[in-house]
Chain A
């Protein structure tokens, strides 16, 4: 057949093999779909962005609020310790000795020892309130510097002093004031106390001297009505045994003091003494509160799933629309792998951009809210790294099927199907 050509001969050369795509080229290829169809890319990335933003914001907000609470607790002091009677060795309710506050005060590193003692009295707005409506308020005898030690301060009026501690005068805890319907202290303001007298059947008016601010560290103080020790002993059949001792230990001595407190409070029966550090419980609470947003995290995960479906959808459509481009690239020497990589990279890029937008949005939302609450903004590494990782994973999963379909497309079919 090649008669006119002199001695035409087939030659044999080594088979060429496809080159690898350079990273820069791959990046350019991955952005083709995004650059040419900007609106569509933006809309399909939006789902991912919303999902990631929700997750970052939820984690960020809970961490920021936990950080805020911890800062608040730290400001109040983490060196407050409380001593309460527990169960005695025989299983009965124990009692703290009368000498306990003074004994504790002798411990090195201890300062501001204050105490309250529960009485059997009940408090009402007026004698006309049925006696069962106690509102679960307690009437406690309190020492004269209690608020500062217990982690609160006076909201309005006056606290008890050496004189008023002997008189029918009360100071209301924040919750107690609210439940009694008293939000302002004015001269002549009074509350009705029952349980007075020798047999505890009497009742009497007590004048309100002040209202305390809410107590974060010692909620017990919030829901009590405080009277002086002398008054309680004289009128409320109070035996003088403290039921809660509040004390501060110098920083650096907190653990030592904590360990010594039970023995010091009741050397005869240390097992009947409960010692606790309210701030540590609060810290645990704050952290638990932060971790308790599974519902919102679930919503974020649903948004991510929807976003993933959006990306997969867009990639499937993209592959259908770009058949001729795929065919051309195959003709230009792209392997199946090149095509697969291109579409996979495009899906990942799409999801990654959505993820980055989501992280920025979520972080901004967290920052704005935290600012308004006066918290420091905390975006946990888990949140943003997880969001980014989730976006990449979603892009890869969503892009896998379309990419495989694109790569399977036969070049001739792809080129001549328009």
Chain B
């Protein structure tokens, strides 16, 4: 993947060119408890801010709450407590239609399993990413072709997903996520189904999209190597953020104290 393929500016403000980048994602003291017996707390007071143009890795072992974080950031689920703001909008104040509209216009998703429709061409798969944004078919295809060009698949518009390799499929999924020039792209284990080399190429692509086009990207992963390629790394454990390279590294003792505070039986939710 050559970096020169990415020339089109994408929505979001490049941090190098803007004095005051806006916050595209803002979580404040977010708690998420899944109902059940006993209730399962997935997030225990998480605060996170992502500004336009950032490339963030959310790293943690399975069960650490990183996928839940992604759901909440993507407005696919609502927090039990705390506030989630996407492009400055508090999601708890929005109804289903507005949340859907927010997802259609401002959020792009990339999934581990790609989720491509086998009966459609690559072009239409990407064009469907704009289906709910109120864009006409001709323009959807035009933007889809542009996005596919951007991820280096401009020559495979008419192919079916089944004819593509895993890496190519993930590129199609990425093209679908960025076709609408969303304010933020959320990627859930984007290299999880790919081998090492293909995964690295996908990460390169994400990095280039971020660096050259200024797309804000949050990658959720359990893979230390994947996270290591990102500019900013947020580590999660047991539903809490234990470190964030964006802030001065927390005192080792402080992190330990937070973990102790999160243990069952301990009072929850100190000042955030």
Question: Which residues of A are in contact with B by a Cβ distance under 8 Å?
Answer: 1-13, 15-22, 24-25, 29, 32, 35-36, 324-325, 327-338, 410-412, 415-416, 418
The residues in B between 3 and 61 inclusive whose CB is less than 8 angstroms from any CB of A are 15, 19-23, 26, 47-49, 51
Contacts of B19 in A (CB 8 A): 6-7
Looking at the assembled complex, report how far the CB atom of B58 sits from the nearest CB atom of chain A, in whole angstroms: 14
Q: Measured between alpha carbons, how far is A192 from B219 in the docked complex, in Å? A: 110
Contacts of A335 in B (CB 8 A): 96-97, 100-101, 132
Contacts of B136 in A (CB 8 A): 22
The answer to whether A8 touches B51, judged by C-beta atoms less than 8 angstroms apart, is yes
The answer to whether B132 touches A338, judged by C-beta atoms less than 8 angstroms apart, is yes
Asked whether B211 is an interface residue with its Cβ less than 8 Å from the other chain, the reply is no
State which of B74, B104, B119 has its C-beta within 8 Å of the C-beta of A19: B104
Contacts of A327 in B (CB 8 A): 115
Known: A1-B49, A22-B136, A330-B103. 20 other contacts (CB 8 A): A1-B247, A3-B247, A9-B23, A15-B93, A15-B102, A18-B100, A19-B132, A19-B133, A22-B137, A32-B117, A35-B119, A331-B76, A331-B103, A332-B128, A334-B100, A334-B132, A335-B100, A336-B100, A338-B100, A415-B111
* B83-91, B163-171, B197-205, B262-270: which lies at the interface: B83-91
Contacts of B113 in A (CB 8 A): 324, 418
Looking at the assembled complex, report how far the CB atom of A33 sits from the nearest CB atom of chain B, in whole angstroms: 10
The answer to whether A8 touches B97, judged by C-beta atoms less than 8 angstroms apart, is no
Pick 12 A–B contacts, CB within 8 A, sort by A.
A3-B248, A10-B26, A13-B89, A21-B132, A25-B131, A328-B111, A329-B132, A333-B101, A336-B96, A410-B77, A415-B76, A418-B113
Contacts of B88 in A (CB 8 A): 10-13
The answer to whether B103 touches A333, judged by C-beta atoms less than 8 angstroms apart, is yes
Contacts of B97 in A (CB 8 A): 17-18, 335, 337
The answer to whether B22 touches A10, judged by C-beta atoms less than 8 angstroms apart, is yes
The answer to whether A18 touches B132, judged by C-beta atoms less than 8 angstroms apart, is yes
Looking at the assembled complex, report how far the CB atom of B24 sits from the nearest CB atom of chain A, in whole angstroms: 9
The answer to whether A412 touches B87, judged by C-beta atoms less than 8 angstroms apart, is no
Contact pattern, B 123-137, Cβ under 8 Å of A = 1, otherwise 0 = 000001101111011
The answer to whether A9 touches B77, judged by C-beta atoms less than 8 angstroms apart, is no
Contacts A332-B129, A412-B76 given; does A36 touch B119 at CB 8 Å: yes
Asked whether B71 is an interface residue with its Cβ less than 8 Å from the other chain, the reply is yes
Contacts A331-B76, A412-B77 given; does A19 touch B101 at CB 8 Å: yes
Contacts A11-B87, A18-B132, A418-B113 given; does A330 touch B98 at CB 8 Å: no
Asked whether B106 is an interface residue with its Cβ less than 8 Å from the other chain, the reply is yes
Q: Measured between alpha carbons, how far is A7 from B23 in the docked complex, in Å? A: 10
Contacts of B26 in A (CB 8 A): 10
Contacts of A418 in B (CB 8 A): 113
State which of A6, A16, A21, A337 has its C-beta within 8 Å of the C-beta of B105: A16
Q: Measured between alpha carbons, how far is A4 from B104 in the docked complex, in Å? A: 30
B26's nearest neighbour on chain A, judged by CB, is A10
Contacts of B223 in A (CB 8 A): none
Contacts of A18 in B (CB 8 A): 97-98, 100-101, 104, 132
Q: Measured between alpha carbons, how far is A410 from B76 in the docked complex, in Å? A: 8
The answer to whether A330 touches B89, judged by C-beta atoms less than 8 angstroms apart, is no
Q: Measured between alpha carbons, how far is A237 from B139 in the docked complex, in Å? A: 100
Asked whether B67 is an interface residue with its Cβ less than 8 Å from the other chain, the reply is yes
Q: Measured between alpha carbons, how far is A17 from B89 in the docked complex, in Å? A: 12
Contacts of A15 in B (CB 8 A): 89, 93-94, 98, 101-102
The answer to whether A333 touches B20, judged by C-beta atoms less than 8 angstroms apart, is no
Asked whether B146 is an interface residue with its Cβ less than 8 Å from the other chain, the reply is no
The answer to whether A332 touches B111, judged by C-beta atoms less than 8 angstroms apart, is no
Looking at the assembled complex, report how far the CB atom of A411 sits from the nearest CB atom of chain B, in whole angstroms: 4
The 10 A-B pairs of least Cβ separation, nearest first, read A333-B104, A19-B134, A333-B132, A16-B101, A335-B100, A411-B76, A18-B101, A11-B88, A18-B100, A333-B103
Asked whether B149 is an interface residue with its Cβ less than 8 Å from the other chain, the reply is no
Asked whether B258 is an interface residue with its Cβ less than 8 Å from the other chain, the reply is no
Contacts of B20 in A (CB 8 A): 6-9
The residues in B between 63 and 90 inclusive whose CB is less than 8 angstroms from any CB of A are 67, 71, 74, 76-77, 85, 87-89
Contacts of B134 in A (CB 8 A): 19-20
Looking at the assembled complex, report how far the CB atom of A386 sits from the nearest CB atom of chain B, in whole angstroms: 34
Asked whether B142 is an interface residue with its Cβ less than 8 Å from the other chain, the reply is no
